[in-house]
């Protein structure tokens, strides 16, 4: 396979994954916030194909779960009550991309029966639905954070590289400062000095902002290196000779040169920032309940009894693996394809 077709496959797979997350409501069987106090910490239900009498069913089914008598967290399957899996059922209301209201779900069991394919948390909320909706929050934080970082990096790098002089000196000194610090400490320090107890949406924006501001130094240095070499090239000099202004030169001739590096950086930064969001939320400094995110879904594992007794609470940690693989492959493919026709000295600013 050529690099180009590999790139296409990779982008298609990543796109499909993100589309799936964007339509989380469709794939999630339940409302992520709906609580069921009768089923705290219900283990994942098993999908059966063979019933108690040995009869084979093409349509998978589950057995209803009920708390074992005189126990508060052990469940047993009620073999008398088989619930068949149905496709395209009506269920809880959700909004696609936050606007389009819909009720149809890919699969479900109808009749508001509590069904937990990945188990439930301490409030009896469906873990599968929470992981899917949490993906929206975490990925969005990563994507917006990366966008913010790259825009700051682009502006700073362009100013430092194009106008040079004392601006370059000052900006690059500050960039060194940001590069030198261990990033979690930086994240911690910035988060420490922002308000803690805020509503979920505001907390989300704060987290995105903090993550986005922390990482700008590396892309800024890269952009600066490219701008430095690009502004000496013949076509830029020619345009300058024809009387083009600085802003026009930057916009039209120089910044387009940085696009491939920015793209590669984006593929590297998004998973890093998703991880940053997870870390903050895991530690209770990020997105708070009841809004699910991959990080705060794992937060309950800090309690010893959850860690020991309810193994399925660990499953959200694995949810990001396919995304990370996708972004890693994308980054290495992009790196390989841009190296082929990199302008001389463009990478020197790294």
Is 192 near another protein (CB under 8 A)?
yes
Q: How far apart are CA 228 and CA 345, in angstroms?
A: 9
Q: x/- string (CB under 8 A) for another protein, residues 296-315?
A: --x--xx-x--xx--x--x-
Nearer to another protein, 107 or 178 (CB): 178
Pick the closer one to another protein by CB: 53 or 173: 173
The residue range among 15-23, 85-93, 144-152, 275-283 that interacts with another protein, by the rule CB under 8 A, is 275-283
How far is Cα 91 from Cα 25, in angstroms, rounded to an integer?
A: 10
Q: What's the token pair of residue 195? A: 């308000």
Binding of another protein by 181 (CB under 8 A): yes
Applying CB under 8 A, among 26, 27, 163, 183 the residue interacting with another protein is 183
When asked if residue 235 is in the footprint of another protein (CB under 8 A), the reply is no
CB of 222 to another protein, least distance (A): 16
CA dihedral 275, 289, 301, 20 (to 10 degrees): -50
Question: In three state form, how does the secondary structure of 30-85 look?
Answer: CCCCCCCCCCCCCCCCCCEEECCCCCEEEEEEEEEEEECCCCCCCEEEEEEEEEEC
- By CB under 8 A, name the one of 12, 16, 52, 189 that touches another protein: 189
- Structural contact between residues 65 and 78, judged by C-beta atoms closer than 8 angstroms: yes
13 makes contact with another protein (CB under 8 A): no
Q: Which stretch binds another protein (CB under 8 A): 98-106, 146-154, 236-244, 319-327?
A: 319-327
Judged by beta carbon, residue 162 or residue 294, the one nearer another protein is 294
Q: For another protein, how many residues bind (rule: CB under 8 A)?
A: 43
Closer by beta carbon to another protein, 203 or else 298: 298
Decide: 274 and 138 in contact? Cβ < 8 Å: yes
Core vs surface per residue 237-257: b (16+ CB within 10 A) or e: eebeeeebeeeebbeebbbeb
Among 139, 208, 255, 320, binds another protein (CB under 8 A): 320
Distance in angstroms (rounded) separating the CA atoms of residues 107 and 128: 12
Choose, by CB under 8 A, the member of 165, 195, 243, 247 that binds another protein: 195
Q: How far apart are CA 226 and CA 72, in angstroms?
A: 63
Best CA proximity match to 26, nearest among 116, 133, 117: 133
Q: Which residue's CB is nearer to another protein, number 123 or number 183?
A: 183
Kindly state whether residue 173 participates in binding another protein, applying the rule CB under 8 A. yes
Q: Does 321 bind another protein (CB under 8 A)?
A: yes
CB of 78 to another protein, least distance (A): 28
The nearest distance, CB 38 to another protein, in angstroms, is: 27
The residues, any chain, with a CB within 8 Å of residue 77's CB and separated by 6 or more, are 46, 63, 64, 65
Least distance CB 314 / another protein (angstroms): 6
Q: Is 317 in the site for another protein (CB under 8 A)?
A: yes
Give the residue, chosen from 177, 201, 205, 343, that forms a contact with another protein under the rule CB under 8 A: 177
> Crossing angle for the helix pair 217-230 and 165-180, nearest 10 degrees?
150
Nearer to another protein, 98 or 182 (CB): 182
Q: How far is the CB of 187 from another protein (least distance, A)?
A: 9
Percent helix, strand and coil across the chain, each to the nearest 5: 60, 15, 25
Q: For residues 220 and 156, is the Cβ–Cβ distance under 8 A?
A: yes
Decide if residue 350 touches another protein (CB under 8 A): no
| Radius of gyration of the CA atoms of the chain, in A | 25
Neighbours of 191 (CB within 10 A): 19
* Interaction site with another protein (CB under 8 A): 173-174, 176-177, 180-186, 188-196, 275, 278-279, 282-285, 295, 298, 301-302, 304, 307-308, 311, 314, 317-318, 320-321, 324-325, 328
């Amino acid at each position: 396979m050529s690099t180009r077709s590999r790139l296409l496959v990779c982008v298609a797979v990543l796109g499909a994954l993100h589309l799936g997350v964007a339509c989380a409501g469709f794939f999630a069987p339940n409302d992520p916030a709906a609580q069921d106090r009768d089923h705290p910490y219900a283990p994942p239900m098993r999908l059966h194909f063979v019933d108690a009498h040995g009869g084979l069913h093409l349509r998978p089914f589950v057995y209803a779960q009920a708390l074992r008598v005189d126990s508060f967290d052990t469940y047993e399957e009620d073999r008398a009550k088989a619930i068949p899996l149905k496709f395209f059922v009506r269920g809880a209301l959700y909004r696609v991309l936050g606007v389009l209201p819909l009720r149809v779900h890919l699969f479900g069991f109808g009749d508001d029966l509590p069904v937990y394919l990945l188990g439930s948390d301490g409030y009896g909320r469906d873990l599968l639905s929470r992981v899917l909706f949490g993906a929206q929050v975490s990925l969005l934080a990563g994507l917006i954070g990366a966008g913010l970082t790259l825009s700051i990096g682009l502006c700073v790098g362009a100013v430092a590289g194009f106008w040079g002089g004392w601006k370059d000196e000052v900006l690059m000194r500050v960039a060194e400062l940001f590069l030198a610090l261990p990033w979690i400490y930086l994240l911690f320090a910035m988060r420490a000095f922002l308000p803690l107890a805020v509503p979920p949406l505001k907390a989300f924006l704060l987290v995105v902002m903090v993550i986005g501001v922390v990482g700008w130094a590396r892309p800024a240095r890269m952009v600066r290196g490219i701008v430095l070499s690009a502004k000496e090239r013949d076509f830029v000099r020619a345009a300058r000779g024809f009387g083009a202004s600085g802003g026009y030169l930057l916009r039209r001739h120089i910044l387009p040169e940085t696009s491939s590096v920015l793209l590669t950086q984006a593929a590297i930064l998004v998973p890093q920032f998703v991880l940053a969001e997870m870390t903050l939320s895991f530690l209770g400094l990020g997105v708070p309940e009841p809004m699910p995110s991959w990080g705060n879904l794992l937060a309950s594992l800090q309690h010893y009894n959850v860690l020991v007794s309810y193994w399925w609470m660990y499953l959200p940690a694995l949810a990001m693996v396919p995304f990370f693989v996708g972004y890693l492959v994308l980054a290495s493919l992009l790196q390989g394809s841009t190296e082929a026709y990199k302008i001389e000295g463009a990478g020197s600013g790294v």
